[in-house]
Amino acid sequence: MKLNNCIFKFLDVEDRHFFSNMENNELICKQYRDFNDPYESHFGINAHWPSPYKDESKLVQLIQRIEPDNFGTFTASKDSMNKYIQSHSNLRDYSLEKIKELLMSFRICSFTKRWNHVLMWAHYANGCRGLALIFDDSKILDCKNARTINSQDPLNGANIPLKWITYQSCPPILNAVDVLEAIRIGTEESIISLSKKILDICVLSKYRAWRYEQEIRMITKIEENVGEARVLYKYDPMALKGAIFGSKCDPENIKKVSKLLPEECTVFLTKPAASRYKVKIVQKWKAGQIANGEVEINQIIG
């Protein structure tokens, strides 16, 4: 099995939802405020309008799009245009509220292309006591089923193709006037365009210190208002290819997980590399071999 063609999901085996999620082939998708990065989906807002003096033509066209029924009144003179701009003195707060509303409709599940980095095991697999599930990135989006964590009722949602995170040194900037324009126009096309812009600028941007994660995200846009509830995404079992267990994972947990994996899935056992700060694979087995007792895990890693 070639790991370079896969994506990985680090998990804590001791999490109270872990085994039920494994049994149901489900992954937790979180809203942006649940992540450990204090700057998750962080952004700045530019609330400047085109100048009635330097960019009059641009401002007139903008007001015409926003106020198609009354734009003649608002653009009759530079003074009337200035008054129109002043009437939107709360534009920054208005745009911030609308952007956050759209952000709350996204649910995010993070994967990585890097399975052997020490910090990944430390931060997301309970200090090597957990595991990394191995997924086929071409099949992870094959299923469309989702529900909130406390309900069996299905949700309507659309999975967006897997997206790579862009790492940068400064927070992205959103134009408040563009937000106002999209909301006022109010067509499905304008809202979809605004959602895509917010997705690309906010949800897919992180501070460059996180580059070591090599993160790729599965994002589901939920149509219903579910507040801050986490969402469970049900993946196709064929997308799951195996598991890499941390060097400190309890042998009993390895056995339990192996019984939940399809028999042909590959199970990898690891230990810290001797000469580098890396995690290395030392043995691999079929999940069925461990589940059926053909392989005695205690003797291998004890």
Tokens 């680090």 locate to 10
Residues of the chain with pLDDT under 70: 298-302
Cα–Cα distance, 91 to 88 (Å, whole number) = 5
pLDDT at position 300? 53
CA atoms within 13 A on the CB side of 168: 17
pLDDT at position 175? 92
Cα–Cα distance, 80 to 210 (Å, whole number) = 48
pLDDT at position 302? 45
- Write down the pTM of the prediction: 0.90
Q: Is the dihedral of CA 143, 149, 151, 156 positive or negative?
A: negative
